[in-house]
Structure 1
Amino acid sequence: MNREPHLPPEVAQAPFRPLRFGVTRVHVRDGPAGVHYLRAEQALQPYPARMTDRLRHWAHERGQRTLFARRRRHVAADGTVTLTDWEHVTWAQAWATARALAQALLQRDLSAERPVLILSENSLEHALLALGCMVAGVPWAPVSPAYSLLSSDFAKLRHVWVTLTPGLVFAQDARYARAIGAVVPPQVEVVLAEGALPDRAVTPYAALAATEPTAAVEAAIEATGPDTIVKFLFTSGSTKAPKAVINTHRMWCANQQQMTQSMPVLAEEDLVLVDWLPWNHTFGGNHNVGMVLYHGGTLYLDDGKPTPALIGETLRNLREIAPTVYFNVPVGFEAIAQAMQTDAALRRTLLSRVRMFFYAGASLAQPVWDSLYASAVRELGLRIPMTSGLGMTETAPFALFVTSPEVRAGDLGLPTPGLEIKLVDVDGKTEVRYRGPNVTPGYWRNPEETAAAFDEEGFFRSGDAVRWIDETDVHRGLRFDGRIAEDFKLATGTFVSVGPLRARLIAAGAPYVQDAVITGLNRHEVGALVFPTPRVRELCPLPPEASLHEVVEHPAVLAHFQRVVDELARQATGSANRIARLVLLADPPSLDRGEITDKGSINQRAVLTHRADTVDKLYEDALHPIVKPTVQPPTDTLSTRTLP
């Protein structure tokens, strides 16, 4: 019997490539007033006191193996960048350079009060300087390049500066000149990896890396411990100014051990990653870089991104380098799934030894998932398990992970060993809260926000809502149920659960919906702002040079989305889950305005704030064209939650 009717039988019945899941059972303890506490049945095993110990260990054990690799960049006179062969940094080279850089940092009297600010995309120099900071016991803070390169007023960068009071700034090259000139005081040293800055003296990165280490380096290592701050990672600042999340050695090391026990594949063979995820986010900078450091692996820096202009570089790298596990955001997997349908070289290399796919940052549409399965079965006769979980910057970030390959989009699974979670009713939804060694002690220089973030038992309030996959079997774990702060009430008092509704819309519109924002706060009906994918052009006969504005207004495109809203309307049980009006947006979400993060997830609140005029016009029928369902609306039923 085909247990997955949305898949062809030959795909649905294909076995999975073998993959062990470390946590499959959970202890549940009931608390007062419907509160529940969950712990994995297996205990957390010992972990190092500091990540520096892993760096030193692997430098001695695997000195000649590649730790980091990145394609060499050649910049032409007109600014065109060409990426050529791979430049490799071995574990032994990384350890030697980190010690040299640590010595240079120690000579500058830097500290948590005067940390290192990094203004750079992922690069070899960025990676090595971060390791040098770690060895010296000097925290660093990688900041979103968008704050410097895309912002017009540098407001978020100024906030970061005031919060941290850095003692040294590292920038990759002169592209950061405007931001540095606007925000960094003249007395603060600036280190540049490439080139020079106009009207400002800089220290070449190479000069720091040539410093001769002394006994002070070993003394600095010994002075660090589990509570030493490794780095500051900033939250996205979707609702307030970005907060500096304190990341300690205990958090990072405990979380890597937790990941190892939840995902045993990480320790079963030599780890190889090909990764573009930005290091100013916890997914790329803690989760992925951390696992490479912890397990003595190799990280190929991918200069591509899941955008039309840069996805080609990611595909090129995946045709050449075979990862053992692969991480991406849903929009990245969508591009890869589409390419694998016709790209035999991509299928052959990417699927050759990858044991597991993992997505985070947003919901993955089931058709994309199914397409990845189909390509793997075509190439291997096996399905590659698609996995996911839940975490956040404040949990270092790994917290929940699925328990088997038999999962669906939205499944989160069970807590990782050593982490206790608390399920609490908040306005009729179930919030998940965290307590464990991987949870941050708080926000730097922000005692008010720190106090508000923890409940009376010391559990971190995540703001994420969850529900059971199967209420009759708690060992299957939890599903994502949206963000509590995103949910709202219609003018009728009917409560709208944004996360599940948004996921249904994306799935119904796949593969032509990149993301969507649900509207309707204090209105009488639910609406949607839809950001289409580039593939939406396939729906109409317009030439490639046609603008996206022309495409989204084409009758064939509108006819497709008419079918989508009609089908969703037929499934609706009341006004809370019926999309009554929808508009396609030709202007993509903006990084600079915080509408989308560096890793590709949508910021619902920021979109609604910056496009308030569009929302008003949507409800005034002043936009053209607006898609409305032709199916009669249902009468609200008990499945629609109404609050007083």
Structure 2
Amino acid sequence: MQRTSEYLVHSVSREDRADGSILLKSKHTLGPVVDKTGVWLHAWASDAPDRTFIAERSGAGWRKESYAATLEKVRAIASSLLARGMGSETPILIMSGNGVDHGLLSLAAQYIGVPTAPVAEQYALIHGAHGRLRHAIELVRPKMAYVVDADQYREALELDALQGVEIVASRKGGNSQVTAFDELLKGDASVNLKAAYEQVGPDSVAKILMTSGSTSAPKGVITTQRMMCVNQTMLADALPFLRTRPPRVVDWLPWNHVFGGSHNFNMMLANGGSFYIDDGKPVAGLFERTLENLSMVTGTLSFNVPVGYGMLLGALQRDGDLRRRFFEELDLIFYAGASLPQDIWSGFEQMALDVKGEIPLMTSSWGLTETAPATMMQSEPIDRSGVVGVPMNGVTLKLIPDEDMRCEMRIKGPNVMPGYFNEPGKTASVFDEEGFFITGDAMRFIDPQDVNKGMKFDGRISEDFKLLTGTWVRAAQLRMDLLTCLSPLASDLVITGADRIEIGVMVFPDVAELKREGFDLSDDSGAYRCKLLQGEIHRRLAERARELSGSSTRVGRAIVLSEPASMPEGEMTAKGNLNFRKILTRRQNLLERLYDDADPAIVKI
């Protein structure tokens, strides 16, 4: 089975320490690292001035900016920011999603050391989510805020928290108080742009990235030039083909998240690649736009979440021409966010073989907003999903194993954040006495006798709990198992049972999928259909329980939730992840009902 891509062979050292902890490091040497993102921009504007750097849909085609044009516009915007007195203490809040102007503004700010703080566009567009937006504004205290369309974002722009903040919009509409983005493009020759650029270095703050807020209020992760630049060296060391030919992506992953906005965006910039912004998404009603974009341009790299690959696989199976074009130059299929189902993995492998007789590197990695993000990667080809690999060059992992060899993960390296923005107490709490960042994530070795086989993610330490019997429940892994068991009936679920006698599960039904399966809960016979749904959940969980011997994974009861998770109430993050603690607190009455055997809504196994 051939693979088209070059890769870095795993070579990891292991140190077993007297205190029981384990240190892992790559034996490979970290490659050269530039001081700031502006170095990449200048280099490619010189070496490949006419190559497309960034593009977005415009009418029937694309608005494209070459490397030379990007540098020219970045320098103009940067001089306009300087003329406004902006610097390291005057962040820019970016409230819109991915776009060319968003990218130009971000690079211009980085060029002169002005931090940007991109936030999820849902926070501004959804009235009920304005609390999250206010939190970000009050934390960051920006001097400028950017939106793509002033009319579309009008309600958010009228928030009291933005009073006194200059608003910039690509389309200002009828709002005379808004600065047109084109005004920034005019530049200002009175400032010393060269001096401002030269004072930017590895420790300069490039971004303040908000965490998802899945366990607490979102924190602002200080992201330095060093973090971003060293992370791209780590990635290119692990994926040598990035340096062989300029990469190209058609990518939708949001730039307010570290993966889309730092990992993918900077991967194109660092390696002279081309970033085509996909304005579709892997959801009903928007995925068709992704397919339209891919019919026009395909990438040499593919990044997506598992649900996106599931939708894409079906589309490629139906469209032979798109299938051929998708695979013809493809070097990499990269999944993140969750483990890729093995049937989807195998489907892409077989399709690649059928199209060109070779398989691109199929892989994943692991990291966090606080680690820039990439920290571990599976750079060697494998034939299965779920493996996140070994430490990347320059990183040291500290593993703290329990009696079952489940390892708490801690990290030290140049890609790790210096701290949380304006929160010294929280910063101090996440570094141990040796300076390792305490991630809260757990890992397991694929083969404890061979560290080069890599590791797999094994949930969040904080999500684990004990039953009254003293039995530990590994909630993250159990949740994934149950989602498989209840597919496609459940869109998501919450594991319960802390300080109780048995495990329970609160099920968020997948209403659209249920309707296709014959469980339409919205029609006149909804109550009857709900009973049928409860019966099917009972059947599946009971069948699963018969195959289990221990209480740590056996579910004893379930309840189906009629109200979906609420983003305005903080039950769901902008990524679509559940905030389990918030759900259990807000729905305390339902949690109590779940453990009431007399309640008719309870599915008792």
- TM-score, length-scaled by structure 2: 0.92
Q: In structure 1, which of residues 334, 338, 347 is the aligned counterpart of residue 310 of structure 2?
A: 334
Instruction: Classify the secondary structure of the residue corresponding to 1:553.
Output: helix
Instruction: Classify the secondary structure of the residue corresponding to 2:366.
Output: strand
Residue deviations 1:585-615 (CA, integer Å, cap 9, x gap): 5654444444444344444334434444433
C-alpha distance 386-531 of structure 1, shift in aligned 2 (>3 A):
farther
Equivalent residues in 2 for 1:431-450, closer than 5 Å: 431-450=408-427
The letter of the residue matching 2:312 is: I
Instruction: Classify the secondary structure of the residue corresponding to 1:193.
Output: strand
Residue deviations 1:418-474 (CA, integer Å, cap 9, x gap): 001100247974211111111111111111111111101110000000111111211
Instruction: Classify the secondary structure of the residue corresponding to 1:260.
Output: helix
Q: In structure 1, which of residues 537, 540, 563 is the aligned counterpart of residue 518 of structure 2?
A: 540
The letter of the residue matching 2:16 is: D
Partner of 1:18: 4
Q: In structure 2, which of residues 328, 334, 338 is the aligned counterpart of residue 358 of structure 1?
A: 334
The letter of the residue matching 2:451 is: V
C-alpha distance 598-314 of structure 1, shift in aligned 2 (>3 A):
farther
Partners of 1:518 and 1:527 within 8 A in 2: yes
Q: In structure 1, which of residues 46, 51, 62 is the aligned counterpart of residue 37 of structure 2?
A: 51
Residue 296 of structure 1 pairs with residue 272 of structure 2: yes
Equivalent residues in 2 for 1:186-197, closer than 5 Å: 186-196=163-173
Partners of 1:51 and 1:249 within 8 A in 2: yes
The letter of the residue matching 1:499 is: A
Partner of 1:397: 373
Residue 504 of structure 1 pairs with residue 481 of structure 2: yes
Partner of 2:433: 456
Equivalent residues in 2 for 1:198-213, closer than 5 Å: 201-213=177-189
Equivalent residues in 2 for 1:8-407, closer than 5 Å: 15-72=1-58, 84-152=60-128, 154-173=130-149, 174-196=151-173, 201-213=177-189, 216-407=192-383
Q: How far apart, in 2, do the equivalents of 1:349 and 1:599 lie?
A: 30
C-alpha displacement of 1:406: 1.8
C-alpha distance 608-330 of structure 1, shift in aligned 2 (>3 A):
farther
Q: How far apart, in 2, do the equivalents of 1:146 and 1:304 lie?
A: 15
The letter of the residue matching 1:524 is: I
Partners of 1:553 and 1:625 within 8 A in 2: no
Q: How far apart, in 1, do the equivalents of 2:305 and 2:313 lie?
A: 12
Partners of 2:567 and 2:573 within 8 A in 1: yes
Q: How far apart, in 1, do the equivalents of 2:240 and 2:481 lie?
A: 32
Partner of 2:493: 516
C-alpha distance 279-528 of structure 1, shift in aligned 2 (>3 A):
same
Partners of 2:4 and 2:358 within 8 A in 1: no
The letter of the residue matching 1:28 is: R
Q: How far apart, in 1, do the equivalents of 2:603 and 2:346 lie?
A: 28
Q: How far apart, in 1, do the equivalents of 2:347 and 2:525 lie?
A: 26
The letter of the residue matching 2:518 is: C
C-alpha distance 540-70 of structure 1, shift in aligned 2 (>3 A):
same
Instruction: Classify the secondary structure of the residue corresponding to 1:493.
Output: coil
Q: Which runs of 5+ in 1 are unaligned?
A: 1-14, 73-82, 630-644
Partner of 2:555: 579
Partner of 1:5: none
Q: How far apart, in 1, do the equivalents of 2:438 and 2:524 lie?
A: 44
Q: How far apart, in 2, do the equivalents of 1:401 and 1:314 lie?
A: 27
Partners of 1:113 and 1:165 within 8 A in 2: no
C-alpha displacement of 1:509: 4.0
Instruction: Classify the secondary structure of the residue corresponding to 2:19.
Output: helix
C-alpha displacement of 1:394: 0.6
Q: How far apart, in 2, do the equivalents of 1:265 and 1:546 lie?
A: 54
C-alpha displacement of 1:284: 0.5
Q: How far apart, in 1, do the equivalents of 2:364 and 2:415 lie?
A: 18
Partners of 1:29 and 1:37 within 8 A in 2: yes
Give the stretch that moved more between structures: 580-589 or 242-251. Answer: 580-589
C-alpha distance 337-552 of structure 1, shift in aligned 2 (>3 A):
farther
Partner of 1:78: none
Instruction: Classify the secondary structure of the residue corresponding to 2:242.
Output: helix
Give the stretch that moved more between structures: 564-573 or 355-364. Answer: 564-573
Instruction: Classify the secondary structure of the residue corresponding to 2:68.
Output: helix
C-alpha distance 399-301 of structure 1, shift in aligned 2 (>3 A):
same
Residue 568 of structure 1 pairs with residue 554 of structure 2: no
Residue deviations 1:239-259 (CA, integer Å, cap 9, x gap): 222111111111100000001
Q: How far apart, in 2, do the equivalents of 1:176 and 1:350 lie?
A: 35
Q: How far apart, in 2, do the equivalents of 1:548 and 1:460 lie?
A: 53
C-alpha displacement of 1:208: 0.8
Q: How far apart, in 1, do the equivalents of 2:528 and 2:264 lie?
A: 38
Q: How far apart, in 1, do the equivalents of 2:353 and 2:486 lie?
A: 25
C-alpha distance 366-125 of structure 1, shift in aligned 2 (>3 A):
same
Q: How far apart, in 1, do the equivalents of 2:571 and 2:294 lie?
A: 29
Q: Aligned Cα RMSD in Å?
A: 2.7
C-alpha distance 624-282 of structure 1, shift in aligned 2 (>3 A):
farther
The letter of the residue matching 2:439 is: S
Give the stretch that moved more between structures: 331-340 or 133-142. Answer: 331-340
Instruction: Classify the secondary structure of the residue corresponding to 2:457.
Output: strand
Give the stretch that moved more between structures: 93-102 or 347-356. Answer: 347-356
Q: How far apart, in 2, do the equivalents of 1:496 and 1:224 lie?
A: 48
Q: How far apart, in 2, do the equivalents of 1:339 and 1:59 lie?
A: 37
Q: How far apart, in 2, do the equivalents of 1:602 and 1:339 lie?
A: 28
Instruction: Classify the secondary structure of the residue corresponding to 2:171.
Output: coil
C-alpha displacement of 1:130: 0.6
C-alpha displacement of 1:480: 0.9
Residue 495 of structure 1 pairs with residue 472 of structure 2: yes
Partners of 1:366 and 1:507 within 8 A in 2: no
Q: How far apart, in 1, do the equivalents of 2:495 and 2:525 lie?
A: 21
Give the stretch that moved more between structures: 507-516 or 418-427. Answer: 507-516
Give the stretch that moved more between structures: 341-350 or 128-137. Answer: 341-350
Q: How far apart, in 1, do the equivalents of 2:592 and 2:31 lie?
A: 54
Equivalent residues in 2 for 1:586-601, closer than 5 Å: 587-601=563-577
Q: How far apart, in 1, do the equivalents of 2:386 and 2:576 lie?
A: 17
C-alpha distance 110-315 of structure 1, shift in aligned 2 (>3 A):
same
The letter of the residue matching 1:46 is: P
Q: How far apart, in 1, do the equivalents of 2:599 and 2:356 lie?
A: 48
Residue deviations 1:65-87 (CA, integer Å, cap 9, x gap): 11111112xxxxxxxxxx63211
C-alpha distance 243-430 of structure 1, shift in aligned 2 (>3 A):
same
C-alpha distance 574-369 of structure 1, shift in aligned 2 (>3 A):
same
The letter of the residue matching 1:506 is: L
C-alpha distance 489-344 of structure 1, shift in aligned 2 (>3 A):
same
Instruction: Classify the secondary structure of the residue corresponding to 1:109.
Output: coil
Q: How far apart, in 2, do the equivalents of 1:482 and 1:19 lie?
A: 30
Partners of 2:123 and 2:129 within 8 A in 1: no
Partners of 1:433 and 1:461 within 8 A in 2: yes
C-alpha distance 26-624 of structure 1, shift in aligned 2 (>3 A):
farther
Q: How far apart, in 1, do the equivalents of 2:292 and 2:81 lie?
A: 37
C-alpha displacement of 1:384: 4.3
C-alpha distance 560-406 of structure 1, shift in aligned 2 (>3 A):
farther
Q: How far apart, in 2, do the equivalents of 1:573 and 1:404 lie?
A: 36
Q: How far apart, in 1, do the equivalents of 2:273 and 2:574 lie?
A: 25
